[in-house]
Amino acid sequence: MICIQHATIYTPDEVIADGAVLIADGRIQTIAPSSQIDLPEKVSCIDATGLHLVPGFIDLQLNGAIGLDFTSEPRGIWPVAAYLPRTGVTSFLPTIISAPLTAVSAAQKIITSSPPRGFQGATPLGLHIEGPFLHPDKKGAHNPAHLQLPTAAKVANWLPENGVRLVTLAPELEGALEVVRLLSERGVVVSAGHSTADFAQATAGFAAGIRYGTHLFNAMPPLHHREPGLAGALLADERTTIGLIVDGAHVHPELVKLVWRLVGNGRLTLVTDAMAALGMPPGHYALGDHEVIVDDKMARLVSGTLAGSLLTLDTAVRNLITFTGCSLAEVLPTVTSTPANLLGLPHKGRLAPNCDADLVLLTPDLQVHTTLIGGRIVYQKE
């Protein structure tokens, strides 16, 4: 049993200024003020004086890191998972971008297999398949040679039991709504993205079962006062949750502030969309079968198109606070309970009894100090 004492604890309902959490068998047992905790025998205590204790972060869109690209090297999922706790991430969706469908199959085999012996790291919750059912006019950094129309046959084995949790597609494509309904019925979350959909087409997608929007504003028509398009539809429809890349480059900080005012009440998730260069020096890296040129701030194709990001999720949290003036308590759901709710995982993303003990201790300036997964320390700042 482990007890984390004297932390500022962020539960779904309150902030406890000097709190303690008891953990056993990988789950949270008790949360209370430190003065009210009766410590059992044989308990290991962690003194968290001056630190914030928050739920572990969940990233719904991550293409790779530390030089590894999931689409071309799906075995990289495990070493990247071992790296992520230093950024506060305890669960994530490895993202496979547009490629031959055999690339999806290869990633499914990896993610449904056992982790390497001795593995300690973030939990892959399933794949995010971003493509190949995207509109060519909004391909972004995806290779147009791999784009194709969706059919039921092509997604025959795409279901959570086979490692697929989230699928991004363009709802206006021929056959897309049938595939949306099929995947939704299986429990796969379907997202609209890389799309030219107008407002009516987007709304038809929501009626068919789309419940998420991939990196709002990016790879979709701009918001227009007479044609709100996919972006406007996502912001307006209460059925949808929205992903946002808060790095200051993909979306202007003032627009981030506006989005926060509109959907920061439980419909917003921060994502990194980070690629292989995350955690690496500037240079040339892969995103699928594209070469990406990376400096110390940004990743772009040779054409200049943005190609994922170099963002970490803890940085995204700090950025949102800086851009909007919101508090840590207000921003936390965007990287914890809201993505967990979208995926239907009530035991994740919450600091509450019986939930998984996936936890992060943050310093006063919100840097990651310690990360626990299943009640075990997997990262601690030196």
Q: What is the pLDDT of residue 302?
A: 83
Q: What is the pLDDT of residue 227?
A: 96
Q: What is the pLDDT of residue 240?
A: 98
Q: What is the pLDDT of residue 124?
A: 98
Q: What is the 3-state secondary structure (H, E, C) of the chain?
A: CEEEEEEEEECCCCEEEEEEEEEECCEEEEEEEHHHCCCCCCCEEEECCCCEEEECEEEEEECEECCEECCCCHHHHHHHHHHHHHHCEEEEEEEEECCCHHHHHHHHHHHCCCCCCCCCCCEECCEEEECCCCCHHHCCCCCHHHCCCCCCHHHCCCCHHHCEEEEEECCCCCCHHHHHHHHHHHCCEEEECCCCCCHHHHHHHHHHCCCEECCCCCCCCCCCCCCCHHHHHHHHCCCCEEEEECCCCCCCHHHHHHHHHHHCCCCEEEECCECCCCCCCCEEEEECCEEEEECCCCEECCCCCECCECCCHHHHHHHHHHHHCCCHHHHHHHHCHHHHHHHCCCCCCCCCCCCECCEEEECCCCCEEEEEECCEEEEECC
Dump pLDDT digits (tens) for 339-366.
Answer: 999 999 999 999 999 999 999 999 999 9
| Active-site pick, 273, 314, 356, 358 | 273
Q: What is the pLDDT of residue 286?
A: 84
Q: What is the pLDDT of residue 347?
A: 97
User: Is there a catalytic annotation at residue 247?
Assistant: no
Q: What is the mean pLDDT of each run of 10 residues along the chain (382 residues)?
A: 96 96 96 87 91 98 97 97 98 97 97 95 98 97 96 98 98 98 98 98 98 98 95 98 97 97 95 94 86 86 86 98 97 98 97 98 98 97 88
What structural domains does the chain harbor? 2-54+351-380 (2.30.40.10), 56-343 (3.20.20.140)
Q: What is the pLDDT of residue 23?
A: 96
Which pTM was predicted?
0.96
Q: What is the pLDDT of residue 265?
A: 85
Dump pLDDT digits (tens) for 103-125.
Answer: 999 999 999 999 999 999 999 99
